Amino acid sequence: MPPETDCQQVEPGGFLLECPHCRQELRVARKYSGAHVECKLCHGHFLLDPDSPASRLVGFFAECPHCLEELRANWRYRRARVACKLCGGRIQFIPVSAQPVRPGGNSGRSPMIATG
């Protein structure tokens, strides 16, 4: 097996963002994507919307599937293909909003529309 194909798809484990209230960097698990969250430092509330420029996302963190170390990457690399700086393993970051396993559903970016 050629090493070029040893590229693992990795979803972010969570987000690194700046609190809009106190400007401190926060780590938020990806399950809170699209949710209202409370800053643990200043207890300010805000909406975590990764697709909104209003969200001060600075990056994300993810576990390297090769060496299992935590990696931090700039938000602009959320779709990038990179090599782990620790083990050199190849990683393809995939956005959180993508739903890779969704039987019968049509994936892709679609607005939230309530279907009957």
Q: Is residue 37 at the binding interface for Zn ion, with CB under 5 A as the rule? A: no
Sequence-ordered alpha helix ranges (H) in 1-116: none
Q: Is residue 40 at the binding interface for Zn ion, with CB under 5 A as the rule? A: no
Residue with Cβ nearer Zn ion (17 or 96): 17
Output the smallest distance, CB 58 to Zn ion, in A.
14
Q: Is residue 48 at the binding interface for Zn ion, with CB under 5 A as the rule? A: no
Q: How far apart are the first and last CA of the chain?
A: 47
Give me the residue label for tokens 């949710």: 35
Q: Is residue 62 at the binding interface for Zn ion, with CB under 5 A as the rule? A: no
Residue 12 buriedness (CB in 10 A; 0-12 / 13-18 / 19+): buried
Task: Please select the residue that binds Zn ion; options are 41, 47, 83, 98, rule is CB under 5 A.
Answer: 41
The 7-10 sheet, strands edge to edge:
7-10, 90-93, 81-83
Residue with Cβ nearer Zn ion (13 or 97): 13
Q: In whole angstroms, what is the distance from residue 104 CA to residue 25 CA?
A: 38
Q: Is residue 36 at the binding interface for Zn ion, with CB under 5 A as the rule? A: no
Task: Please select the residue that binds Zn ion; options are 44, 47, 51, 54, rule is CB under 5 A.
Answer: 44
Q: Is residue 52 at the binding interface for Zn ion, with CB under 5 A as the rule? A: no
Q: Which pair of tokens denotes residue 34? A: 């699209």
Q: In whole angstroms, what is the distance from residue 38 CA to residue 35 CA?
A: 10
Binding site for Zn ion (CB under 5 A): 19, 21-22, 39, 41-42, 44, 64, 66-67, 84, 86-87, 89
